[in-house]
Structure 1
């Protein structure tokens, strides 16, 4: 799947895009993360999603034991959206980066592969503490790459930090 997406996106990402993604991830790291933070962050994402015409499914999974510590599925969403979120999560776990990173990395460097089930598009993000992934955050349901954007906007607001804008195409 990564090769297929990368072929379609050939020439649309730059090394600067890849570096920007990595910078965003570094800035959006946590000092600590727990279930209360997951609840607050998840509710913030749900609140922000109301600005969009589409509804969302949001999932935050604690990676130490695989427990969903936050999950919201809007009335118009279904298991299909949870499945997309899970596949995006697999891209995070396989790469150690956001689910968009493997696609940008492959287009820019020509290197990298993922497990077949992983979905290398925007919409899942590693929650890191001290450089280690402690949870994954995944959103499904928005169009045109806005799953990625709502995650970044929500993390930025929650952590009260500034991050550079990702200028590459969002998928």
Structure 2
């Protein structure tokens, strides 16, 4: 995967209107996927218009520091946190800063061309966190015809 692939994913995963019910459906889909494939526990955090609309820390996860770092990275960069991994020089204030992470697992909620929130997953390898978000988003957006 490269930065052009990630930009394409960001263009494809756009909402006409994001709903809190979608956040719940998304979060539960992630948890169900992790459990059914017996993967490592993850945390899921979804923030929409400055409001925490979903958060779940699976057993073994006792903090959400990485989720918050991924969220900040998405909201300030306007891109997925995995995109910033490939463009670290464009975000020098995020390097070696405990408030951000230049790695995968945070994805923008794009509503009609405006970044209005972030979907974050943490617990797998950073590229796997990213791919889990994208795969789940694409499946649910197709199901919902959004």
- 1:22-171 equivalence runs, <5 A: 22-50=7-35, 51-62=37-48, 64=49, 66-79=50-63, 82-106=64-88, 110-115=89-94, 116=97, 117-143=99-125, 145-160=127-142
Divergent runs of 4+, >6 A: none
3-state secondary structure, aligned to 1:53: coil
Name the CA distance, whole Å, in 2 between partners of 1:54 and 1:74.
Answer: 9
Q: Which has the higher helix share?
A: 2
Q: CA RMSD in A?
A: 1.7
Per the alignment, do residues 36 and 142 of structure 1 end up closer, same or farther by CA in structure 2, a change over 3 Å counting?
A: same
Change (3 A) 1:144 1:87: closer
Unaligned runs of 5+ in 2: none
Post-superposition offset of 1:102: 1.3
Relative to the length of structure 1, the TM-score reads 0.75
**Larger Cα-atom Rg:** 1
* Pairwise CA distance, 1:145: 2.5
| TM-score, normalised with respect to structure 2 | 0.87
Q: Deviations over 1:83-136 (max 9, x none)?
A: 001001111112100001112123xxx443244221011001001111111221
Which residue is equivalent to 1:3? none
Long gaps (5+) in structure 1? 1-12, 162-171
Rounded to whole Å, the distance in 2 between the matches of 1:123 and 1:111 is: 19
